[in-house]
Amino acid sequence: MALIEISNLTKIYNTTSVPVYAVQNVNFTIEKNEFTAIVGPSGSGKTTLLNMIGGLDDYTEGKIVVDGVDLSALKANQLVDFRLQKIGFVFQAYNLIPVFSAKENVEFIMLLQGVSKEEREGRAVKLLKQVGLEAKIDTRPSQLSGGEQQRVAVARALASKPSFVLADEPTANLDTASAESLLDLMEELNKKSGMTFIFSTHDPRVMKRARRIVTLVDGKIAKIEEAKA
């Protein structure tokens, strides 16, 4: 069974007299251990699609099945818990809590899960070491570079032990060196730990690393390409 199954997925915004299709009749699956990029021009629907996979946006028609669970069958509180347990998120704007240290930011998701203090702290320190920030454990986001903040965000995404990670334009605010370093890290986590990564991006640096590229145009899948060996 695929990790994620998307069937006839459609998202319509009825904000005007003419319905606007953000995503239209999208069908594809994602297997475990994939390193996949959803790409397309601005307004193509890639972020909307990523948000629907993550249960952050609802949809008008179709079905999304994640780890055997139909997202549309979940009540609001069940969906919140499902996201907490199953999905790691990395956002373009980092979304770190400013008054928390790097370690506290990574711990926060585990706090919501009810993980014990000892386990939270141990896992947070281990993850921050894994992303190369062992020297910045007690540092607040404002004292970190953009690349360092995004590494904290990756550690936080992994802290919940998710089934997969959704990364929305994770390199958009990073310089070339920071972006390449972050992608090195994600690629290593994918290959060594088997973590599934799904990106929404228009960054050629991400597309170059992806092993599969799903291209959206006007909310529809224009093509799906597998990376050449």
Residue 228: its pLDDT value, please?
65
Residue 178: its pLDDT value, please?
87
pLDDT tens, position by position, 113-136: 999 999 999 999 999 988 889 999
Nearest-angstrom CA–CA distance, 66 and 153: 22
User: Domain limits of the chain?
Assistant: 4-96+161-224
Nearest-angstrom CA–CA distance, 229 and 214: 17
pLDDT tier for residue 11 given thresholds of 50, 70 and 90: very high
Residue percentage of the chain with pLDDT more than 70: 99
Q: Which burial class, exposed, middle or buried, applies to 196 when counting CB atoms under 10 A from its CB (0-12, 13-18, 19+)?
A: buried
Residue 29: its pLDDT value, please?
95
Please give the CATH architecture assigned to the domain spanning 4-96+161-224.
3-Layer(aba) Sandwich (3.40)
37 sits in which H/E element: strand 35-39
pTM: 0.90
User: Is 60 exceeded by the pLDDT of residue 142?
Assistant: yes
pLDDT tier for residue 229 given thresholds of 50, 70 and 90: low
Residue 174: its pLDDT value, please?
85
Average pLDDT score over the chain = 91
10 sits in which H/E element: strand 4-13
Q: Which SS3 state, helix, strand or coil, does residue 196 take?
A: strand
pLDDT tens, position by position, 81-120: 999 999 999 988 888 999 999 999 999 999 989 999 999 9
8 sits in which H/E element: strand 4-13
Residue 155: its pLDDT value, please?
92
Instruction: Give the residue, 26 or 18, on which the prediction is more confident.
Output: 26
